[in-house]
Amino acid sequence: MAIKTEMLRCFATVARSGNLADAADKLGRTPSAVSMMLKQLEDHLGAPLFESERKSKLTTLGVYTLDEALRELDHFERTISAIENYARAKSGFVRIAVVPSVAETILPNVVQMFLKDHPQVHIDIRDMDSAAVIREIERERVDLGIASGAGSNTQIVCEELFSDAFGIVCHAEHPLTLRDSPLSWEDLAAWPVIANGLCAQINNGTLQNIIENSKLMVRNTTSLLALVRADVGITVLPRVVVGRTEGNVRFLPVSDPHARRHIDILRRTHTLLSPAAHAFQAMVRIVAGNTQMDGYTRQSGDR
């Protein structure tokens, strides 16, 4: 018969208690049941663990067995605790790739609230554009992504969080700011336009012709806005990207109602999330549903 963990726990409790009655009370068993388990352990070892039936003094084998049993029981308890904490999302690791606009607006609240409930979980956040986020999900380098443009990708499950309107972004003193009505894409043709990766999401022939003829492509949002502040040119961005910027940058609405960016939370198809990642995903949904921000439609709003 193999030695079981419960046998070691029973023996250690009796050895520490010094008698069967107290040990049985601590274990929630009858003294006869405890005595029987001890006998099974001694029969397996082929030698007694106690000097007498009173169980008050250990034999040499008993002393050695107690030391090893306590070490094994401690390791067992730590193992069970680690498994339970992982299952309850109290520990673990979450890898997330996110577009910069969400990293600046929604993600800080998500992380703050999540860590209050899951302080032992490690979070790895990677800030990148949507195309890079999708690649990271496809290659299973991250657990979750927050980006746009993955709707037709069969390797990825998408769940919309919110959408926001595209518009023209320019210097605060640019002549286009003098217009009272929403602009059209044709209004860009007379000015130097700085192309960026997000423009590809807008299905408009006029705009795409303008972007294709642009002499300047900038993929980093920080660099892009710096060039707009310097009045190097104008660009096209979602409202949320520039909604919290300070200084001499203006967002101008356009008359195209279809020019919207849809932000999704992404995960790989047929891949189960860890408990911690699943809890993080749920927190993203909550914060995205509760956040108030000019210019975007929340998932829990009018849809």
Contact 111, 123 (CB under 8 A): yes
Mean pLDDT for the stretch of residues 266-291:
90
Contact 97, 87 (CB under 8 A): no
Model pTM? 0.68
pLDDT band at 244 (very low <50, low <70, confident <90, very high): low
Contact 124, 93 (CB under 8 A): yes
Mean pLDDT for the stretch of residues 166-185:
93
Task: Quickly count: other Cβ atoms within 10 Å of residue 134's Cβ.
Answer: 22
Q: What is the pLDDT of residues 31-60, one digit of tens each?
A: 999 999 999 999 999 999 999 888 889 999
Q: Which amino acid is at 149?
A: G
Mean pLDDT for the stretch of residues 226-232:
94
pLDDT band at 71 (very low <50, low <70, confident <90, very high): very high
- Residue-level pLDDT at 87: 79
**Mean pLDDT of all residues in the chain?**
89
pLDDT band at 1 (very low <50, low <70, confident <90, very high): low
pLDDT band at 246 (very low <50, low <70, confident <90, very high): low
